Amino acid sequence: MNRSARYSDLPPGQYVTHEFPVFSAGPTPRVPLDQWRLEISGADGVVRSWNWDEFQSLDAVQITVNLHCVTRWSKLDTTWTGVPVDALLADVNLPGDFLVASSYGGYTTNLPLQDLLGGKAWVAFEYEDRPLALEHGGPARLLVPHLYFWKSAKWLRGLRVQERDELGFWEQIGYHEYGDPWREQRHWDD
């Protein structure tokens, strides 16, 4: 791919980095794999859960995507391995159009359910063919590459489907509710 085509993949206001910057909203939680669980829930409680071994036995895919951070960096052509959110929600019958992703450590972020389905999101556990490093959200993180990277919750613990939208951690303190990098939706008034 030539340089001009590559940089045409950048949303407005972004610059390319070859590093993988680390930003976190609080201390890095450390969850031993034998204690890790991923739970899918609704208003009535947990309806599906996997421990680490069960999660690792699910059909995973490898994807290559561009990442765009609200702090204006973009990292192009990143390769991840993860389980499609479609597969995690396939047998779950939960009413609602919204989802809250929650992390070990208490972090949350909100998303419209439609932004996680149709091959748009994964729960990733490998980055560049290696287990996902703790500082990047290991052992598993949500990956929603078409939105700013804060929507891709690190240290994922659960996905809660609900009928009403509920602002997450950054959204409550001024970040945009949706976070589309192509529309530069960084803050409430963008």
pLDDT, residue 2, reads 40
Is there a domain that residue 62 lies in? Answer: yes
Q: What is the CATH number of the domain that holds 140?
A: 3.90.420.10
135 part of a folded domain: yes
Most confident of 21-25, 42-46, 87-91, 126-130: 126-130
**Do 51 and 37 contact (CB within 8 A), yes or no?**
yes
pLDDT confidence band for 6 (50 / 70 / 90) = low
Range of the domain at 117: 34-183
Q: Decide: helix, strand or coil at residue 103.
A: strand
Question: How many domains does the chain contain in total?
Answer: 1
Query: Is residue 21, in this structure, part of any structural domain at all?
Result: no
| Within a domain: 151 | yes
Residue 54 lies in a domain: yes
- What is the dihedral angle through the alpha carbons of 18, 69, 49, 93, rounded to the nearest 10 degrees? -130
Task: Examine residue 92 and state whether it is found in any structural domain, yes or no.
Answer: yes
Per-residue pLDDT, averaged over 24-50, amounts to 88
The burial of 164, by beta-carbon neighbours within 10 Å (0-12 exposed, 13-18 middle, 19 or more buried), is given as exposed
Confidence of residue 25 (pLDDT cuts 50, 70, 90): confident
Q: Is 11 part of any domain?
A: no
Confidence of residue 47 (pLDDT cuts 50, 70, 90): confident
66-105 confidence digits (pLDDT tens): 999 999 999 999 999 999 999 999 888 778 899 999 999 9
At residue 53, φ and ψ (nearest 5 deg) are -65, -40
Average pLDDT value for residue range 93-121: 94
Q: Which two tokens stand for residue 110?
A: 């909100």
Asked, for residue 24, whether it belongs to a domain, the answer is no
